Every structure is written in C-alpha cells, then in structure tokens.
Amino acid sequence: MEMGQVVKDFLPSPDQLVPKGKTKTNQVTLELTEESVSFFKAQADRKQIPYEKIIELLVEKYAHECISDA
C-alpha cells in the first residue's frame, strides 16, 4: 500500500515570515490547539506583529507552494 507523496520541506521559519503588501482577503474561522496559538503568539511578540498575521502568511506560503507544484 502506497503511503502518499513525499514533499519537500518548504515551510519558512517564523523569522522568515514578513508581512507583504495588501491584497484582497476573505475572513475565515480556524480552530487551533492552545499549544499552536501560544507558539504563534510568542513569535508575534518577537516580531511585534499580530499573531493572526503570522498564521495568514504561513497558510499563504503553503498555498503558493502547492499551486506552483501542481
């Protein structure tokens, strides 16, 4: 039984997540573990940006990588 496709590790470190220009967005609701939210909040405090922005940039990076691999 095949386990799936192995993909390269493309996710950036929190230090590489830098806000970019404004684009059209959609608001979504997302459930995360307390541990994940704590991690993103700590990184956001270091960068002095909202933790939601870090999550947004991470999801955007993932989506763009998947689109470019398609």
Residues 11-46: tens digit of each pLDDT: 777 666 655 666 778 899 999 999 999 999 999 999
pLDDT of residue 65: 84
pLDDT of residue 9: 73
pLDDT of residue 28: 93
- The Cα 54–Cα 60 span in angstroms is 10
